[in-house]
Amino acid sequence: MIQTSTQFQIGDLVAVRSPEEILQTLDENGTLNGLPFMPEMIPYCGKRYHVVRRVFKTCVSGTPELTDVRGMKSDDVVILEGLRCAGNEHDGCQKDCMILWREAWLKKPTDSNLSLAGSSDGPEGLRNRLKTKSSPERYFCQASEILSFTERISQLARFSKSFDDLRAGNCSIPEMIRRISIWAFWKLRKSLFGVYGRGTSSSVVEQALNLQPGECVIVQPMAEIRNTLDAKAKNRGLWFSPDMRLECGREKIVERRLEKIIVDGTGAMRRLKNTVYLKDSYCSCPHVAFGGCPRGEFVYWRETWLRRRNDAEMPVLDSKSAT
């Protein structure tokens, strides 16, 4: 069993260990302390990346009963630059999760006593240990098992995790103050006025634009979007979060269509219709997570909240416009 006492810091260049080395760290389920090493991670073995964040807490979303901010059970998880799960080994899941890495799966590139690539049969041996389903209807991945390697934390512990973020360099003091202020504002606003964006729609409001990657769209004004939302600010179960209002009236590019994702904590594959990702549209977690969240998930957009650029009769806000 490979052991590591190294705590990699933000900006450190690290190498992903060889398949043989990683195999030595895994249990019979292909996990290390509950965190799965997924088949989509194998192509990164032997390659070098920079650490961009240490992970102390994370959001869980997808089902109302599980939506929460949870703390990591151990302080040995990092995120590497730009590495997201392609989903190709999980029936084409499009969730595009940021991959979490145990430090035991990484090493300093200067470690001369350990090979980077390993033998030619290494990847196959590792792949045989990994699984993508725990049952015919339940997928097995970092998203499905998120409850296994995280734990519920109190409000006091959330403060502590925020200090961990500061000490690790995940953010500056002004940035953390900003994050907590945003969270406090929306928490107070919800208690006084209810859910932001709540509408009065009692029927299913749906529009099929059949948007394709690369198309130019305009996000509808908030007044129009509100007409598609129910009393919980949802459209067919998909929440219109407060930070999404900042995109209203702006021109965006369709990144891809979204048709299926694995749900956090359940492993169920959820099917979606008339929903897309927009380029550079990520969840602004301070609105819902005390101190923010490192997962950097894409925001999901219903097509009924959008208009094609040529069909939209509204002014376009530039990227620096407020509100």
Does the structure show a pLDDT above 90 at 84? yes
Q: Does the structure show a pLDDT above 70 at 282?
A: yes
User: pLDDT tens across 141-156, in order?
Assistant: 999 999 999 999 888 8
pLDDT at 114 exceeding the cut of 70: no
How far, in Å, are 184, 222, 257, 277 from residue 176 at the CA level?
Answer: 12, 28, 33, 27
In the predicted model, what is the mean pLDDT of residues 213-227? 95
DSSP bridge partners of 58: 70
Q: What is the rounded distance in angstroms from the CA atom of residue 269 to the CA atom of residue 275?
A: 15
Classify burial at 245, counting beta carbons within 10 Å of its beta carbon; exposed 0-12, middle 13-18, buried 19 or more.
middle
In sequence order, the 6+-apart residues with CB closer than 8 A to the CB of 68 are 59, 60, 152
**169 pLDDT above the threshold of 80:** yes
Is residue 283 very low, low, confident or very high in pLDDT (cuts 50, 70, 90)?
confident
Residues 223-252: what's their mean pLDDT? 93
**pLDDT higher than threshold 60 for residue 320:** no
Looking at the predicted structure, is the pLDDT value of residue 30 above 90?
Answer: yes
When pLDDT is averaged across residues 27-38 and rounded to a whole number, the result is: 96
Residue 111: per-residue pLDDT: 55
pLDDT of residue 312: 47
- Position 115 scores a pLDDT of 47
pLDDT attached to residue 32? 97
Q: Which of 137, 23, 28, 42 is nearest to 83 (CA)?
A: 42
Average pLDDT over residues 271-284: 91
What confidence score (pLDDT) does residue 121 get? 63
The mean per-residue pLDDT over the stretch 95-108 comes to: 96
Alpha-carbon distance 171 to 294, whole Å?
Answer: 11
- Stronger pLDDT, 282 or 31, i.e. the higher one: 31
156 CB contacts (<8 Å, ≥6 apart)?
A: none
Among 48-52, 54-58, 80-84, 110-114, the least confident range: 110-114
Predicted model pTM: 0.87
* pLDDT attached to residue 207: 87
Task: Please tell me the distance from the alpha carbon of residue 140 to that of residue 158, in angstroms, as a whole number.
Answer: 28
